[in-house]
Amino acid sequence: MIPLKVIRQEPDRIRAALADKGESPALVESILEQDRAVRALLGEVEGLKAQRNTVSQEIGRQKRAGSDAAENIAAMAALADRVKALDKRLQEQQAALELDLLQVPNAPHPSTPAGSTAADNRAVSSWGEVTQPGPEAKDQHDLLVDLALVDFAAGARITGQGFPLYTGRGAKLERALLNFMLDLQTAEHGYLEVLPPLLASRASTLTTGQLPKLEEDMYRVGQDDLFLIPTAEVPLTNLHRGQVLEEAALPLKYVAASACFRREAGSYGKDTRGLLRVHQFNKVELVKFVHPDHSYDELESLREDAETVLRRLGLPYRVVELCRGDLSFAAAKCYDLELHAPVTGRWLEVSSCSNFEAFQTRRGHIRFRRSDTGKLDYPHTLNGSGVATPRLLAALLENGQQPDGSVRLPAALQSYFGAEVIEPL
């Protein structure tokens, strides 16, 4: 959340940030107008309460003197009614202001490239050799079906389109990928593994910034007002909601493998072949709580932790720095990691590594006490996929397929899967 005092003091900067992220700068005017109304009502309420206290004291004096206090008692009742009515108006005005504040996205970091769409993103590095597929090479969908790794028809029959059903070797391969990534991040990179709930409260999703803006893209359990998590970022970030952390404990590093659920309203019919766009998928998520003085160094470290997964699997990838207009609502800076799928002929995003600065911790009231000043401050949060499995599996199959129809698995994965090759049926 952007602090109200920042919007008051730097409205032009916040207008520019809104424009950078494709939002209307008019939101700043709405907030400032709401703020003026709140402060005016506060002044009026405080004046009436002071007047009420004066009348109350006069009533007490009159009663002690044996005088008739009826007129002041009636005035006191009228003041109480006016205060009650104004308090209600004030609460409504404060709620409207709070809702407007929750609609303001995080401001892009100055180093983030200018631009409005994904076409303006900037490739910053690449790794591995991009191969050209042979004439008989199959794409990820046909490999998944022909090797009986995923039963798309059964998943659609059980739930609907976009809910793949992994079977046999496909289920085992999915489990192997998750275990490989979890072991790497816990044993080598020092993350603490967490197995989180798959449902999150409205307060939790407000903290991480999915609500209120992205509610239509989430699956909601209406009776309980709970949401199926779109990413384990939500429960991991909310581990410390409302808490004061020890400065010496920073950075805190968490990793979780979980199912993720995204409605992606408006995306129906786009990239629905195979695993390129699904509504339920598995992902290993990395979340850090870090000291604000070091958060951009920590972002580079987080990115390296995610890249290690792709290098160990020997898959060609590139790193793309997102432009301002392509950043998520909560991110100040973000790198995407994209795998190359040679038959599909595309770069597939499998990870976004983001710095949210204090945006989420302000929303979640997560603080730490600075040892040098003794004052409370907000840690910065970072998160990155380490990584999402559907497109990872798609790229792994397309890059590993052999002329005989088999798929050779990366060496790092073979002990987890129990074989070097997935043979044709």
Pair 80, 164 in one domain: no
As for how many domains the chain has, the answer is 2
Q: Give the residue, 327 or 61, on which the prediction is more confident.
A: 327
- Place 267 in a pLDDT band, splitting at 50, 70 and 90: low
- Residue 228, domain CATH: 3.30.930.10
Pair 200, 285 in one domain: yes
Pair 301, 333 in one domain: yes
Q: Is residue 113 part of a domain?
A: no
Q: Which residues are catalytic?
A: 262, 277, 349, 352, 391
Quick one: pLDDT at residue 73? 86
Q: Residue 222: is its pLDDT beyond 80?
A: yes
Pair 187, 330 in one domain: yes
Write out the two tokens for 205. Answer: 């999703």
Quick one: pLDDT at residue 370? 95
Pair 75, 38 in one domain: yes
Q: Is residue 109 part of a domain?
A: no
Q: Is residue 135 part of a domain?
A: yes
Average pLDDT over residues 39-63: 89
- Place 55 in a pLDDT band, splitting at 50, 70 and 90: confident
Pair 148, 85 in one domain: no
- Place 67 in a pLDDT band, splitting at 50, 70 and 90: confident
Report percent pLDDT > 90 for the chain: 87
Pair 95, 236 in one domain: no
Pair 278, 413 in one domain: yes
* pLDDT (tens digit per residue) in 329-362: 999 999 999 999 999 999 999 999 999 999 999 9
Quick one: pLDDT at residue 69? 83
Quick one: pLDDT at residue 71? 86
Q: Is residue 368 part of a domain?
A: yes
- Place 59 in a pLDDT band, splitting at 50, 70 and 90: confident
Q: Is residue 112 part of a domain?
A: no
Pair 323, 230 in one domain: yes
Q: Residue 133: is its pLDDT beyond 70?
A: yes
Q: Is residue 111 part of a domain?
A: no
Which of 59, 74, 102 delimits the end of a domain? 102
Quick one: pLDDT at residue 75? 86
Enter the pTM of the model.
0.92
Q: Which domain holds residue 131?
A: 118-422
- Residue 26, domain CATH: 1.10.287.40
Pair 151, 53 in one domain: no
Q: Is residue 410 part of a domain?
A: yes
Pair 128, 222 in one domain: yes
Pair 133, 15 in one domain: no
Q: Is residue 130 part of a domain?
A: yes
